[in-house]
A and B are shown apart, each in its own frame.
Chain A
Amino acid sequence: MSFRFPISPSFSITGQPIARLISGDVPELWTKRTELFDAVLRKFANIHEGHEKARAIALSSQRSASTCFTLYLRNFGIEEYRYSDDPTERMYNLRLAQFRKEVKEWVIRAGSDLLSLRGGNDQLDELLGSGELVFTGQSRNWHSLAGELIQAAKAIIIFANDVSPVFLKKLISFNLYKKQIVPLFTCQKPPKNLMSCYIMKATQIHLHV
Protein backbone atom coordinates (compact mmCIF):
# COMPACT_ATOMS: atom_id res chain seq x y z
CA MET A 1 0.00 0.00 0.00
CA SER A 2 1.38 3.39 -0.87
CA PHE A 3 0.22 6.78 0.23
CA ARG A 4 1.77 10.11 0.90
CA PHE A 5 1.61 11.68 4.32
CA PRO A 6 -0.12 15.03 4.16
CA ILE A 7 1.10 17.99 6.17
CA SER A 8 -1.83 19.23 8.14
CA PRO A 9 -2.57 22.95 7.85
CA SER A 10 -3.51 22.85 11.54
CA PHE A 11 0.13 22.71 12.50
CA SER A 12 2.58 25.49 12.11
CA ILE A 13 6.00 26.13 13.53
CA THR A 14 5.15 25.07 17.08
CA GLY A 15 3.66 21.88 15.73
CA GLN A 16 6.90 21.00 13.97
CA PRO A 17 7.34 17.53 15.51
CA ILE A 18 3.78 16.68 14.54
CA ALA A 19 4.25 18.04 11.04
CA ARG A 20 7.43 15.98 10.71
CA LEU A 21 5.63 12.85 11.76
CA ILE A 22 2.68 13.45 9.51
CA SER A 23 4.97 14.12 6.56
CA GLY A 24 6.66 10.77 7.16
CA ASP A 25 9.95 12.29 8.29
CA VAL A 26 10.70 9.62 10.88
CA PRO A 27 14.34 9.27 12.01
CA GLU A 28 16.04 5.90 11.60
CA LEU A 29 17.87 6.15 14.91
CA TRP A 30 15.72 4.73 17.68
CA THR A 31 16.59 7.36 20.28
CA LYS A 32 15.83 10.16 17.84
CA ARG A 33 12.62 8.48 16.81
CA THR A 34 11.56 8.09 20.43
CA GLU A 35 12.34 11.76 21.06
CA LEU A 36 10.14 12.71 18.13
CA PHE A 37 7.27 10.50 19.28
CA ASP A 38 7.56 11.81 22.80
CA ALA A 39 7.50 15.41 21.56
CA VAL A 40 4.31 14.69 19.62
CA LEU A 41 2.71 12.88 22.51
CA ARG A 42 3.58 15.63 24.96
CA LYS A 43 1.99 18.19 22.69
CA PHE A 44 -1.14 16.13 22.22
CA ALA A 45 -1.31 15.40 25.93
CA ASN A 46 -1.04 19.14 26.65
CA ILE A 47 -3.81 19.93 24.20
CA HIS A 48 -6.12 17.32 25.67
CA GLU A 49 -5.21 18.33 29.19
CA GLY A 50 -5.99 21.96 28.41
CA HIS A 51 -9.32 20.94 26.89
CA GLU A 52 -10.31 18.93 29.97
CA LYS A 53 -9.19 21.66 32.36
CA ALA A 54 -11.17 24.24 30.42
CA ARG A 55 -14.24 22.00 30.53
CA ALA A 56 -13.87 21.51 34.29
CA ILE A 57 -13.61 25.26 34.93
CA ALA A 58 -16.57 26.07 32.69
CA LEU A 59 -18.76 23.50 34.43
CA SER A 60 -17.51 24.53 37.84
CA SER A 61 -18.51 28.14 37.16
CA GLN A 62 -22.13 27.00 37.01
CA ARG A 63 -21.94 25.16 40.32
CA SER A 64 -19.91 27.51 42.46
CA ALA A 65 -20.11 31.26 42.74
CA SER A 66 -16.44 31.40 43.65
CA THR A 67 -15.37 30.12 40.23
CA CYS A 68 -15.69 32.27 37.14
CA PHE A 69 -14.07 32.52 33.77
CA THR A 70 -13.41 35.07 31.09
CA LEU A 71 -13.65 33.86 27.53
CA TYR A 72 -11.01 34.71 24.96
CA LEU A 73 -12.64 34.12 21.60
CA ARG A 74 -9.87 34.83 19.14
CA ASN A 75 -7.73 37.40 17.45
CA PHE A 76 -9.81 38.59 14.53
CA GLY A 77 -7.67 39.66 11.62
CA ILE A 78 -4.46 38.05 12.79
CA GLU A 79 -4.07 36.08 9.57
CA GLU A 80 -3.10 39.13 7.58
CA TYR A 81 -0.10 39.59 9.84
CA ARG A 82 0.91 35.97 10.25
CA TYR A 83 1.20 35.33 6.53
CA SER A 84 2.60 38.71 5.64
CA ASP A 85 5.82 38.95 3.66
CA ASP A 86 6.71 42.03 5.63
CA PRO A 87 8.94 41.12 8.60
CA THR A 88 7.70 44.21 10.46
CA GLU A 89 4.15 42.91 10.31
CA ARG A 90 5.20 39.47 11.44
CA MET A 91 7.00 41.14 14.34
CA TYR A 92 3.74 42.93 15.10
CA ASN A 93 2.19 39.50 15.49
CA LEU A 94 4.78 38.67 18.16
CA ARG A 95 4.09 41.94 19.96
CA LEU A 96 0.42 41.09 20.04
CA ALA A 97 1.18 37.69 21.51
CA GLN A 98 3.02 39.46 24.31
CA PHE A 99 0.14 41.91 24.72
CA ARG A 100 -2.35 39.06 24.95
CA LYS A 101 -0.19 37.33 27.53
CA GLU A 102 -0.19 40.43 29.70
CA VAL A 103 -3.95 40.88 29.40
CA LYS A 104 -4.30 37.27 30.46
CA GLU A 105 -2.13 37.85 33.51
CA TRP A 106 -4.30 40.78 34.53
CA VAL A 107 -7.47 38.74 34.08
CA ILE A 108 -6.04 35.98 36.27
CA ARG A 109 -4.88 38.53 38.83
CA ALA A 110 -8.46 39.80 38.94
CA GLY A 111 -9.55 36.34 40.07
CA SER A 112 -10.87 34.94 36.81
CA ASP A 113 -9.60 32.09 34.65
CA LEU A 114 -9.14 32.85 30.99
CA LEU A 115 -10.54 30.15 28.73
CA SER A 116 -9.84 30.18 25.02
CA LEU A 117 -11.73 28.64 22.17
CA ARG A 118 -9.96 27.25 19.13
CA GLY A 119 -11.92 26.60 15.98
CA GLY A 120 -11.25 23.96 13.37
CA ASN A 121 -9.48 26.40 11.09
CA ASP A 122 -7.45 28.23 13.71
CA GLN A 123 -3.75 27.63 13.95
CA LEU A 124 -2.54 25.77 16.99
CA ASP A 125 0.25 28.13 17.88
CA GLU A 126 -1.95 31.10 18.63
CA LEU A 127 -3.51 29.58 21.69
CA LEU A 128 -1.66 26.52 22.75
CA GLY A 129 1.05 25.97 25.26
CA SER A 130 1.67 23.86 28.26
CA GLY A 131 -1.35 23.93 30.51
CA GLU A 132 -3.25 26.52 28.46
CA LEU A 133 -7.00 26.40 29.01
CA VAL A 134 -8.16 25.95 25.46
CA PHE A 135 -11.29 24.32 24.14
CA THR A 136 -10.39 22.65 20.87
CA GLY A 137 -13.60 22.70 18.88
CA GLN A 138 -14.47 21.94 15.29
CA SER A 139 -16.54 23.74 12.68
CA ARG A 140 -19.57 21.55 13.33
CA ASN A 141 -19.68 22.30 17.07
CA TRP A 142 -17.90 25.64 17.33
CA HIS A 143 -21.03 27.78 17.26
CA SER A 144 -22.90 25.87 19.94
CA LEU A 145 -19.75 25.61 22.05
CA ALA A 146 -19.04 29.32 21.72
CA GLY A 147 -22.68 30.18 22.41
CA GLU A 148 -22.72 28.25 25.68
CA LEU A 149 -19.40 29.67 26.82
CA ILE A 150 -20.45 33.20 25.91
CA GLN A 151 -23.62 32.82 27.96
CA ALA A 152 -21.74 31.50 30.97
CA ALA A 153 -18.69 33.76 30.83
CA LYS A 154 -18.24 36.69 33.12
CA ALA A 155 -16.69 38.65 30.27
CA ILE A 156 -15.51 38.04 26.73
CA ILE A 157 -12.26 39.24 25.23
CA ILE A 158 -11.76 39.73 21.54
CA PHE A 159 -8.82 41.28 19.75
CA ALA A 160 -9.68 42.98 16.50
CA ASN A 161 -8.12 45.38 14.07
CA ASP A 162 -11.30 47.39 13.87
CA VAL A 163 -15.03 46.95 14.08
CA SER A 164 -15.36 45.64 10.55
CA PRO A 165 -18.59 44.34 8.99
CA VAL A 166 -17.31 40.77 9.33
CA PHE A 167 -16.45 41.33 12.96
CA LEU A 168 -19.90 42.79 13.68
CA LYS A 169 -21.56 39.93 11.82
CA LYS A 170 -19.74 37.49 14.07
CA LEU A 171 -20.85 39.36 17.16
CA ILE A 172 -24.44 39.44 15.97
CA SER A 173 -24.35 35.73 15.21
CA PHE A 174 -23.65 35.16 18.90
CA ASN A 175 -26.26 37.65 20.03
CA LEU A 176 -23.48 39.76 21.39
CA TYR A 177 -25.28 42.86 20.24
CA LYS A 178 -26.89 42.78 23.67
CA LYS A 179 -23.52 43.20 25.32
CA GLN A 180 -21.55 46.29 26.00
CA ILE A 181 -18.31 46.40 24.08
CA VAL A 182 -15.48 48.13 25.87
CA PRO A 183 -12.42 48.89 23.76
CA LEU A 184 -9.69 48.64 26.33
CA PHE A 185 -6.39 49.28 24.67
CA THR A 186 -5.04 50.54 21.43
CA CYS A 187 -1.52 50.04 20.19
CA GLN A 188 0.10 53.34 19.45
CA LYS A 189 1.88 52.62 16.21
CA PRO A 190 0.57 49.54 14.53
CA PRO A 191 1.74 48.94 10.99
CA LYS A 192 -1.76 48.69 9.60
CA ASN A 193 -5.06 49.28 11.28
CA LEU A 194 -5.56 50.01 14.92
CA MET A 195 -5.52 46.92 17.05
CA SER A 196 -7.78 46.89 20.05
CA CYS A 197 -8.66 44.50 22.79
CA TYR A 198 -12.36 44.42 23.47
CA ILE A 199 -13.92 43.16 26.63
CA MET A 200 -17.61 42.48 26.43
CA LYS A 201 -19.54 42.85 29.59
CA ALA A 202 -21.83 39.90 29.42
CA THR A 203 -24.45 41.42 31.71
CA GLN A 204 -24.91 44.75 29.96
CA ILE A 205 -27.57 45.39 27.38
CA HIS A 206 -26.25 48.32 25.37
CA LEU A 207 -24.01 48.37 22.38
CA HIS A 208 -21.28 50.97 22.40
CA VAL A 209 -18.80 50.78 19.56
Chain B
Amino acid sequence: MEGWSYSVSEGDKLLTWPGARRIYELLNDLYIGTSEMQTVRTVPCQILSQAELQSPDHKAAREYLKNVTLKLRESIRNLNLKSPYPHSVIENGSDATHPALHLARSTFGIAAAFEDYAAMIESLAILGEIYTYLLANPLQGIAHAEDALNLLTMRYYKSVRSQDLPGNMANPFDYARELIGNVYYALARMRREQGQPNGALAAYEASLAVRGH
Protein backbone atom coordinates (compact mmCIF):
# COMPACT_ATOMS: atom_id res chain seq x y z
CA MET B 1 0.00 0.00 0.00
CA GLU B 2 1.16 3.46 -0.79
CA GLY B 3 1.02 6.21 1.77
CA TRP B 4 -1.06 9.33 1.57
CA SER B 5 -1.06 12.24 3.93
CA TYR B 6 -3.36 15.16 3.98
CA SER B 7 -2.04 18.61 3.17
CA VAL B 8 -3.39 21.85 1.76
CA SER B 9 -3.68 22.39 -1.99
CA GLU B 10 -1.94 25.43 -3.39
CA GLY B 11 -3.91 27.40 -5.93
CA ASP B 12 -5.38 25.29 -8.68
CA LYS B 13 -2.68 22.66 -8.42
CA LEU B 14 -3.76 19.23 -7.36
CA LEU B 15 -1.93 17.46 -4.64
CA THR B 16 0.57 14.95 -5.83
CA TRP B 17 1.18 11.78 -3.97
CA PRO B 18 2.68 8.46 -4.95
CA GLY B 19 -0.60 6.79 -5.80
CA ALA B 20 -2.07 9.60 -7.84
CA ARG B 21 -0.45 8.59 -11.10
CA ARG B 22 -1.86 5.13 -10.73
CA ILE B 23 -5.45 6.34 -11.07
CA TYR B 24 -4.64 7.81 -14.46
CA GLU B 25 -2.81 4.69 -15.58
CA LEU B 26 -5.44 2.40 -14.19
CA LEU B 27 -8.29 4.13 -15.97
CA ASN B 28 -6.43 4.23 -19.23
CA ASP B 29 -5.83 0.50 -19.09
CA LEU B 30 -9.47 -0.37 -18.55
CA TYR B 31 -12.36 -0.98 -20.86
CA ILE B 32 -15.95 0.14 -20.51
CA GLY B 33 -18.36 -2.58 -19.46
CA THR B 34 -21.76 -3.22 -20.98
CA SER B 35 -25.23 -3.28 -19.48
CA GLU B 36 -28.80 -3.07 -20.74
CA MET B 37 -29.35 -0.39 -18.11
CA GLN B 38 -33.06 -1.06 -17.76
CA THR B 39 -33.24 0.37 -14.24
CA VAL B 40 -30.92 3.26 -15.03
CA ARG B 41 -33.22 4.34 -17.86
CA THR B 42 -36.33 4.50 -15.74
CA VAL B 43 -35.40 4.99 -12.10
CA PRO B 44 -37.00 8.16 -10.72
CA CYS B 45 -35.14 10.52 -8.45
CA GLN B 46 -36.77 10.06 -5.08
CA ILE B 47 -35.09 11.65 -2.10
CA LEU B 48 -37.23 10.59 0.82
CA SER B 49 -37.35 6.90 1.60
CA GLN B 50 -40.48 4.87 0.99
CA ALA B 51 -40.85 4.34 4.74
CA GLU B 52 -40.87 8.08 5.34
CA LEU B 53 -43.31 8.72 2.53
CA GLN B 54 -45.72 6.18 4.00
CA SER B 55 -45.47 7.39 7.58
CA PRO B 56 -48.67 8.74 9.21
CA ASP B 57 -47.13 12.21 9.40
CA HIS B 58 -46.46 12.34 5.70
CA LYS B 59 -49.87 10.97 4.86
CA ALA B 60 -51.47 13.66 7.03
CA ALA B 61 -49.32 16.33 5.39
CA ARG B 62 -50.29 15.13 1.93
CA GLU B 63 -53.96 15.15 2.82
CA TYR B 64 -53.55 18.70 4.11
CA LEU B 65 -51.79 19.83 0.94
CA LYS B 66 -54.46 18.19 -1.18
CA ASN B 67 -57.17 20.14 0.65
CA VAL B 68 -55.23 23.39 0.29
CA THR B 69 -54.86 23.00 -3.46
CA LEU B 70 -58.53 22.02 -3.81
CA LYS B 71 -59.57 25.18 -1.99
CA LEU B 72 -57.24 27.24 -4.15
CA ARG B 73 -58.84 25.76 -7.23
CA GLU B 74 -62.27 26.66 -5.91
CA SER B 75 -61.08 30.21 -5.34
CA ILE B 76 -59.90 30.47 -8.91
CA ARG B 77 -63.20 29.14 -10.21
CA ASN B 78 -65.06 31.72 -8.16
CA LEU B 79 -62.74 34.43 -9.49
CA ASN B 80 -61.61 35.38 -6.05
CA LEU B 81 -58.35 36.20 -7.69
CA LYS B 82 -59.68 39.71 -8.14
CA SER B 83 -60.22 40.35 -4.50
CA PRO B 84 -59.72 41.30 -1.79
CA TYR B 85 -56.25 42.77 -2.26
CA PRO B 86 -55.53 43.19 -5.95
CA HIS B 87 -54.20 46.72 -5.80
CA SER B 88 -51.92 46.07 -2.90
CA VAL B 89 -49.83 44.07 -5.32
CA ILE B 90 -49.04 47.33 -7.09
CA GLU B 91 -48.77 49.49 -4.01
CA ASN B 92 -46.44 47.32 -2.06
CA GLY B 93 -44.33 46.27 -4.97
CA SER B 94 -44.64 42.69 -3.96
CA ASP B 95 -46.76 39.71 -4.85
CA ALA B 96 -46.74 38.73 -1.21
CA THR B 97 -49.97 40.48 -0.40
CA HIS B 98 -51.96 38.63 -2.99
CA PRO B 99 -53.46 35.87 -0.88
CA ALA B 100 -53.81 33.30 -3.65
CA LEU B 101 -50.25 33.83 -4.87
CA HIS B 102 -48.99 33.72 -1.33
CA LEU B 103 -50.81 30.51 -0.56
CA ALA B 104 -49.98 28.80 -3.86
CA ARG B 105 -46.31 29.59 -3.54
CA SER B 106 -46.21 28.43 0.08
CA THR B 107 -47.99 25.24 -0.92
CA PHE B 108 -45.47 24.63 -3.65
CA GLY B 109 -42.53 25.08 -1.29
CA ILE B 110 -43.95 22.78 1.34
CA ALA B 111 -45.06 20.20 -1.22
CA ALA B 112 -41.51 20.16 -2.59
CA ALA B 113 -40.10 19.48 0.85
CA PHE B 114 -42.46 16.53 1.19
CA GLU B 115 -41.80 15.29 -2.33
CA ASP B 116 -45.51 15.50 -2.92
CA TYR B 117 -45.37 15.77 -6.68
CA ALA B 118 -49.12 15.90 -7.14
CA ALA B 119 -49.36 18.96 -4.87
CA MET B 120 -46.30 20.52 -6.52
CA ILE B 121 -47.82 20.19 -9.97
CA GLU B 122 -51.19 21.45 -8.86
CA SER B 123 -49.77 24.47 -7.03
CA LEU B 124 -47.53 25.31 -9.99
CA ALA B 125 -50.48 25.07 -12.36
CA ILE B 126 -52.44 27.36 -10.06
CA LEU B 127 -49.54 29.83 -9.93
CA GLY B 128 -49.36 29.80 -13.72
CA GLU B 129 -53.08 30.51 -13.95
CA ILE B 130 -52.94 33.31 -11.39
CA TYR B 131 -50.02 35.04 -13.06
CA THR B 132 -51.60 34.64 -16.47
CA TYR B 133 -54.86 36.07 -15.16
CA LEU B 134 -53.19 39.03 -13.49
CA LEU B 135 -51.06 39.82 -16.50
CA ALA B 136 -54.10 39.60 -18.76
CA ASN B 137 -56.18 41.79 -16.45
CA PRO B 138 -53.84 44.54 -15.29
CA LEU B 139 -56.68 46.51 -13.75
CA GLN B 140 -56.96 43.73 -11.22
CA GLY B 141 -53.42 44.29 -10.10
CA ILE B 142 -50.19 44.00 -11.98
CA ALA B 143 -48.34 40.93 -10.91
CA HIS B 144 -44.64 41.22 -11.29
CA ALA B 145 -43.84 39.60 -14.58
CA GLU B 146 -40.28 38.93 -13.53
CA ASP B 147 -41.45 37.12 -10.42
CA ALA B 148 -43.81 35.04 -12.53
CA LEU B 149 -41.12 34.03 -14.94
CA ASN B 150 -38.57 33.40 -12.23
CA LEU B 151 -40.99 31.12 -10.51
CA LEU B 152 -41.82 29.26 -13.66
CA THR B 153 -38.25 28.65 -14.69
CA MET B 154 -37.57 25.25 -16.12
CA ARG B 155 -35.37 24.07 -13.33
CA TYR B 156 -38.27 24.03 -10.94
CA TYR B 157 -40.08 21.69 -13.25
CA LYS B 158 -37.19 19.32 -13.21
CA SER B 159 -38.59 18.32 -9.85
CA VAL B 160 -41.72 17.11 -11.57
CA ARG B 161 -41.61 13.51 -12.66
CA SER B 162 -43.42 12.53 -15.80
CA GLN B 163 -45.29 9.67 -14.15
CA ASP B 164 -46.90 12.10 -11.71
CA LEU B 165 -48.29 14.39 -14.38
CA PRO B 166 -51.86 14.32 -15.65
CA GLY B 167 -52.39 11.79 -18.46
CA ASN B 168 -52.41 14.30 -21.29
CA MET B 169 -49.20 15.95 -20.12
CA ALA B 170 -46.77 13.11 -20.12
CA ASN B 171 -43.74 15.30 -20.70
CA PRO B 172 -42.96 17.66 -17.80
CA PHE B 173 -41.10 20.03 -20.07
CA ASP B 174 -44.07 20.33 -22.43
CA TYR B 175 -46.23 21.09 -19.45
CA ALA B 176 -43.76 23.69 -18.21
CA ARG B 177 -43.48 25.23 -21.66
CA GLU B 178 -47.23 25.55 -21.95
CA LEU B 179 -47.51 27.35 -18.62
CA ILE B 180 -44.57 29.65 -19.24
CA GLY B 181 -45.87 30.32 -22.74
CA ASN B 182 -49.21 31.39 -21.24
CA VAL B 183 -47.49 33.81 -18.90
CA TYR B 184 -45.39 35.32 -21.72
CA TYR B 185 -48.45 35.65 -23.93
CA ALA B 186 -50.36 37.46 -21.20
CA LEU B 187 -47.34 39.69 -20.69
CA ALA B 188 -47.29 40.50 -24.43
CA ARG B 189 -50.94 41.56 -24.33
CA MET B 190 -50.32 43.69 -21.27
CA ARG B 191 -47.34 45.44 -22.87
CA ARG B 192 -49.39 46.12 -26.01
CA GLU B 193 -52.17 47.68 -23.97
CA GLN B 194 -49.58 49.75 -22.16
CA GLY B 195 -48.41 51.10 -25.51
CA GLN B 196 -45.08 49.30 -25.44
CA PRO B 197 -44.95 47.60 -28.85
CA ASN B 198 -41.34 46.52 -28.50
CA GLY B 199 -41.98 44.89 -25.15
CA ALA B 200 -45.14 43.28 -26.51
CA LEU B 201 -43.33 41.84 -29.51
CA ALA B 202 -40.48 40.55 -27.38
CA ALA B 203 -42.87 38.84 -24.98
CA TYR B 204 -44.91 37.40 -27.84
CA GLU B 205 -41.81 36.01 -29.50
CA ALA B 206 -40.73 34.58 -26.16
CA SER B 207 -44.13 32.95 -25.83
CA LEU B 208 -43.75 31.28 -29.24
CA ALA B 209 -40.17 30.26 -28.53
CA VAL B 210 -41.04 28.69 -25.20
CA ARG B 211 -43.86 26.74 -26.80
CA GLY B 212 -41.52 25.53 -29.51
CA HIS B 213 -43.21 27.22 -32.48
Q: Are the CB atoms of B105 and A34 closer together than 8 Å?
A: yes
Select one of B45, B56, B60, B109 contacting A36, CB under 8 A. Answer: B109
Report if A168 contacts B (CB, 8 A): no
Q: How far is the CA of A120 from the CA of B113 in the complex (A)?
A: 16
Number of A interface residues in the complex (CB < 8 A):
79
Nearest to A51 among chain B residues (CB) is: B45
Q: How far is the CA of A47 from the CA of B33 in the complex (A)?
A: 26
Q: Are the CB atoms of B37 and A196 closer together than 8 Å?
A: no
Residues of B within 8 A of A3 (CB): 56-57, 60-61, 64
Report if A74 contacts B (CB, 8 A): no
Please provide the chain B residues from 39 to 79 with a CB less than 8 Å away from any CB of chain A in the complex.
Answer: 39-41, 43, 45-50, 52, 55-58, 60-61, 63-64, 67
Beyond A41-B112, A52-B158, whether A59 also contacts B37 by CB under 8 A is: yes
Q: How far is the CA of A141 from the CA of B48 in the complex (A)?
A: 14
Report if A183 contacts B (CB, 8 A): yes
Q: How far is the CA of A47 from the CA of B48 in the complex (A)?
A: 12
Give 15 A-B pairs besides A103-B23, A182-B26 with Cβ atoms closer than 8 angstroms.
Answer: A1-B63, A10-B47, A21-B109, A31-B96, A47-B47, A68-B27, A68-B32, A138-B49, A139-B50, A141-B43, A151-B35, A152-B32, A152-B34, A184-B19, A187-B4
Number of B interface residues in the complex (CB < 8 A):
63
Nearest to A20 among chain B residues (CB) is: B113
Q: Are the CB atoms of B47 and A149 closer together than 8 Å?
A: no
Q: Are the CB atoms of B158 and A49 closer together than 8 Å?
A: yes
Q: Are the CB atoms of B14 and A202 closer together than 8 Å?
A: no
- Residue positions of B touching A, CB distance < 8 A: 1-6, 9, 14-15, 17, 19-20, 22-24, 26-41, 43, 45-50, 52, 55-58, 60-61, 63-64, 67, 94, 96, 102, 105-106, 108-110, 112-114, 155-156, 158-159
Among B19, B27, B31, chain A packs the most CB atoms within 10 A around the CB of B27
Contact with B along A118-157 (1 / 0, CB 8 A): 0011001000000000011111110011001111111100
Please provide the chain A residues from 22 to 51 with a CB less than 8 Å away from any CB of chain B in the complex.
Answer: 22, 26, 30-31, 33-34, 36-37, 40-41, 44-45, 47-49, 51
17 A-B contacts (beta carbon < 8 Å): A21-B113, A30-B102, A47-B47, A51-B45, A55-B40, A59-B41, A68-B27, A70-B27, A111-B27, A111-B28, A139-B50, A149-B40, A154-B30, A154-B31, A155-B27, A186-B4, A203-B30
Select one of A37, A109, A139, A149 contacting B105, CB under 8 A. Answer: A37
Q: How far is the CA of A203 from the CA of B27 in the complex (A)?
A: 11
Residues of B within 8 A of A51 (CB): 45
Q: Are the CB atoms of A184 and B2 closer together than 8 Å?
A: yes
Report if A176 contacts B (CB, 8 A): no
Nearest to A112 among chain B residues (CB) is: B27
Q: How far is the CA of A156 from the CA of B34 in the complex (A)?
A: 14
Q: Are the CB atoms of B4 and A110 closer together than 8 Å?
A: no
Select one of B9, B26, B50, B58 contacting A155, CB under 8 A. Answer: B26
Q: Are the CB atoms of A6 and B52 closer together than 8 Å?
A: yes
Q: Are the CB atoms of B106 and A22 closer together than 8 Å?
A: no
Q: How far is the CA of A8 from the CA of B114 in the complex (A)?
A: 9
Q: Are the CB atoms of A187 and B5 closer together than 8 Å?
A: yes
Shortest distance from the beta carbon of A8 to any chain B beta carbon, whole Å: 6
Q: Are the CB atoms of A30 and B96 closer together than 8 Å?
A: yes
Q: Are the CB atoms of A44 and B159 closer together than 8 Å?
A: yes
Q: Are the CB atoms of A188 and B26 closer together than 8 Å?
A: no
Select one of A99, A111, A137, A152 contacting B43, CB under 8 A. Answer: A137
